[in-house]
Structure 1
Amino acid sequence: MDTILPIEVKDRLDRGEKLTIIDVREDEEVAAGMIPGAKHIALGQLPERHAEIPKDEEVILVCRSGGRSSRALGYLESLGYSKLKNMTGGMLEWPQ
């Protein structure tokens, strides 16, 4: 599994990179804040909404601590996605 640290994601965003970030947390969790530019698709919605995620570019998956995003990565890989990264530590380690 390919991983990326929260500080690496923030640094890339701060440099102006356009990243595809999918936040798989629940509605009430993202209501408290999410990474600017991230798209919210809760883990349970992936079977219906995975077509909204590009297969041909890097996609960073985010959750609270890294567990659900890891499961999301495995599920998407089973559907043929290959350029996925799990943000280890999740939003708990997002630099403020």
Structure 2
Amino acid sequence: MDHINELTPHEVEEVMEKDTNAVIIDVREDEEVAQGMIEHAKHIPLNKIPQAIKDLDKNKHYVLVCRSGGRSMNAALYMDEHGFNVSSMAGGMLEWDGEVIL
């Protein structure tokens, strides 16, 4: 099995500042996202990832985020198998102390 790069929330903030090619994808459900999500993140619920990836650019770096890190890792593994450059945010939104938008 491929190893998925895990980033700490702090590293994700650094990636967002420095890497113009990075895209945050929040794979949580609608009601979770309603409680706040990372600014500029794209919301694609986990069950929509298989349909959504056909519209995503394989040249970008996707950082997947969920509540605690489990679902984002599953999404990252799936996208990795389909040729995407992905990372997963360790600890998920439970560990995120950066800005959130409602």
TM-score, normalised via structure 2 length: 0.83
Give the corresponding residue for 1:25: 28
Runs of 4+ in 1 over 4 A off after TM superposition: none
Distance 1:93 1:54 in 2: 28
Distance 1:17 1:74 in 2: 21
- How many pairs were matched up? 94
1:12 Cα deviation after fit:
4.0
2:49 pairs with 1:46: yes
1:8 Cα deviation after fit:
1.5
Q: Deviations over 1:32-51 (max 9, x none)?
A: 00000000000000111112
**Can you give the 5+ residue segments of structure 2 that lack an aligned partner in the other structure?**
none
| Higher strand proportion | 2
Give the corresponding residue for 1:57: 60
Q: Secondary structure at the match of 2:12?
A: helix
Distance 1:49 1:10, change over 3 A: same
**Can you give the 5+ residue segments of structure 1 that lack an aligned partner in the other structure?**
none
Distance 1:55 1:75 in 2: 13
Distance 1:61 1:33 in 2: 15
Give the corresponding residue for 1:86: 88
Q: Deviations over 1:2-42 (max 9, x none)?
A: 111101112443x4654300000000000000000000000
Distance 1:34 1:52 in 2: 22
The amino acid across from 1:64 in the alignment is R
TM-score, normalised via structure 1 length: 0.87
Alpha-carbon RMSD across the aligned residues, in angstroms, is 1.5
Q: Secondary structure at the match of 1:20?
A: strand
Give the corresponding residue for 1:10: 13
